[in-house]
Amino acid sequence: MKRIFVKNFATTTNTIRLCCLIALGLVSGCAHYVPHPLVPQKSLAAFQDRSLSAPGLRAFFAKNHVSMPLVGDAWDMKALTLAAFYYEPSLAEARARLLFAQAAESTAAERPNPSVAFTPGYDNGVPNAPVPWILPVTADWTIETAGKRGDRIAAARHLSAASRWELVGKVWAVRSRLRTALLDLYAARQAEELLGREEAVQQRVVKLTEGQVDAGMQPGYLLTEAYAALDTTTLSRQKAIGAAEQAQIRLAGVIGIPPHALEKIKLSFAAFKHLPKTNASSRMRRQALLGRADLRAALERYAASQSELKLQIARQWPDLHLGPGYAWNSQFSRDSAWQLGLSLPIPVLNLNQGPIAEAKAKRRLAAAHFLTVQADALEQVNSALVQYRSALAVLKTTDGLLANLRQKLDSVRAQVKAGELQPLNLVDAKVAVAAGVRNRLQARIKAQQALGQLEDAVQSPLTLPPATLRAAEDGTTNQEKP
């Protein structure tokens, strides 16, 4: 009996060793924690070193098949938008959320791991037993029923798709803010230039008025009015200079670079030279109501709530648990036992009514949210269309007024040349034309602002290729990875 015991004990010992080796192999294949601390000083230094000539940015342009402006070339809105897609931190956060949702898909697809229980027992109450140890090993293998895993995967995939559409929404927000900042800079620089010309004309008015007042040809209050008009123009030009500086700082912030990185960069404002027509308003409404990022995200979240409800209903059906086991009893020679267990929870206390009710309420909430987003989108498109058409009408009117002022200037110039009017009348006409040019600029800026709001409402840009937007969705563009 001693020989048999030694043999069985050695076999059991080898089995335990084999289990330990398998466990060690599984542990060695596990992921390990790698710390990645955030150092504010380091991130601040990295931000200060950002520029529009960085090698990583150049590689990003090449990856998206776009030629990066050379040194001395002007950066247009498309190039600046790509730079913002590369640097802007909010897009990096949105990409991280998408990666999180995609990781949740892997979690949803996982099957329950089997478990193994080793519960040795000790009994020395049996006379003449070689060794008083009892060595049972049992396993538990869960089999999911009623398609729970498929429902779980479907819900995770819909949530991942919703995160992708939310990333597209962030892309639109970045593009919209960049367009607004660039338009503000364009408006401020144009206003500064026009006010500089108007200031020179006002100075000429002051000089001529002084001569007429000194000669007794005009009352003195006209000179006071001329100085007041000159000071007002000078003040407006100074405000335009400050507005241009602030707009350039905002533009750098939207791109995600320090302000000094834009100081020696030439900018192109060609994107604001044209204003498209809006004849396809019904197509715009349909496109907005079916293709906007927030609508698509809300639709995916509703689909996820559907799958979640299916999952909770499926959980009314219990999972099967297979429990095979083996026990070696050393108290009796060659005594071992196999067992095949089957367990099934009995749903007598609840049928998962609470989670099912929550899932139904969540589905109703998702449906209501989608209808709210759709109604808001329709209101935004209708309002933006009306505003854009109104802005185009105002611009057309200012074009007509400016044309009339220029015709009047030509007439006054001819009359001055003929000696019928004085040079001061010609300068006054030039001041009126300068004011008309500024009014036309303001009307054009208002029209461009309305166009930006229409593009944001439809989320299908009228002036930007869709490939530029798709470039921002690439998760590999994030140039600061842990």
Identify whether 133 is part of a domain. Answer: yes
User: What is the model's pLDDT at position 350?
Assistant: 84
Residue 342 placed within a domain: yes
Rounded Cα distance between 428 and 32, Å, is: 79
Whether the predicted pLDDT of 465 surpasses 60: no
Task: Considering only residues 158 and 140, tell me which one the structure prediction assigns the higher pLDDT.
Answer: 158
Confidence of residue 15 (pLDDT cuts 50, 70, 90): low
CA distances from 37 to 33, 34, 124, 340 (A): 12, 10, 56, 50
Could you tell me the residue range of the domain that residue 1 belongs to? 1-29+123-143+317-350
Distance of CA 338 to the CA centre of its chain: 59
Kind of pairing, strands 266-267 and 74-75?
parallel
In a domain, 482, yes or no: no
CA angle 94, 97, 103 (to 5 degrees): 145
Say which residues have a Cβ less than 8 Å from residue 271's Cβ, sequence separation at least 6. Answer: 76, 77, 78, 179, 182, 463
Contact 158, 303 (CB under 8 A): yes
Once rounded to an integer, what is the mean pLDDT over residues 446-458?
92
6: in domain? yes
Residue 276, domain member (yes or no):
no
Q: Is 330 part of any domain? A: yes
42-46, 230-234, 258-262: which has the minimum mean pLDDT? 42-46
Answer yes or no: are the C-beta atoms of 358 and 313 closer than 8 Å: no
Selection from 11-15, 274-278, 458-462 with the highest mean pLDDT: 274-278
Could you give phi then psi for residue 66, rounded to 5 degrees? -125, 135
pLDDT of residue 123: 66
3-state secondary structure 67-132: CCCCCCCEECHHHHHHHHHHHCHHHHHHHHHHHHHHHHHHHHHCCCCCEEEECCEECCCCCCCCCC
* pLDDT beyond 60 at 295: yes
Least confident of 60-74, 81-95, 462-476: 462-476
Residue 7 lies in a domain: yes
- How far is Cα 168 from Cα 5, in angstroms, rounded to an integer? 70
Q: pLDDT at position 255, please?
A: 93
How many domains does the chain divide into? Answer: 1
Sorting pLDDT into bands at 50, 70 and 90, what band is 444? very high
Query: Residue 446: helix, strand or coil by DSSP?
Result: helix
pLDDT at 338 over 80: no
Is the per-residue pLDDT at 368 higher than 90? yes
* pLDDT given at position 115: 86
| Residue 335 lies inside a defined structural domain of this protein | yes
> Cβ distance 134 to 123 under 8 Å?
yes
**Which of 306, 305, 310 shows the shortest CA–CA distance to 352?**
310
Gyration radius of the chain's alpha carbons: 38
Residue 319 backbone class (left: φ over 0; alpha: ψ -120 to 50; beta: rest): beta
